[in-house]
Structure 1
Amino acid sequence: MSIDVWFVMLPGVLALDMSGPAETFVLAGDAFRLHYIGPQPDVPTSIGLTMGGISPLPDTLPDGSLLVLPGVSDSRHQFSTPQALGVQHWLMRLQPAIHRQAITVMCVCSGALLAAKSGLLTGKQCTTHHDVITRLRDAAPGAVIKENRIFVQDGNIWTSAGITSGIDLALHLMNRLCGPEKALTVAREMVVWFRRSGDDPQLSPWLRYRNHLHPAIHRAQDALTAEPQKGWQLVDIAALAHVSPRHLTRLFQEHLGISVRDYLEQLRLAIAQQWLLQGRGVEQASIAAGFSSPRQFHRAKQRAIS
Structure 2
Amino acid sequence: MSEGKIIKALSGFYYVLEGENIIRCRGRGVFRKKNVTPLVGDYVVFQSENETEGYIMEIKPRKNELIRPPIANIDQAILVFSAARPDFSPLLLDRFLSVIEANDITPVICITKMDLLSEEEKKKIGWYIDGYQSIGYEVFQLSTKTGDGLKQLFPFIDGKISVLAGQSGVGKSSLLNSLHPQLDIKTADISDHLGRGKHTTRHVELLQIGGGLVADTPGFSSLEFPEMEAEDLPFTFPEIEQYGENCKFRGCLHINEPGCAVKQAVESGEIRQYRYDHYQDFYQEIKNRKPRY
Question: TM-score if structure 2 supplies the norm length?
Answer: 0.31
Higher share in strand: 2
Higher RCO (CA < 8 A, seq sep 6+) = 2
Greater Cα radius of gyration, structure 1 or 2? 1
Question: TM-score if structure 1 supplies the norm length?
Answer: 0.30
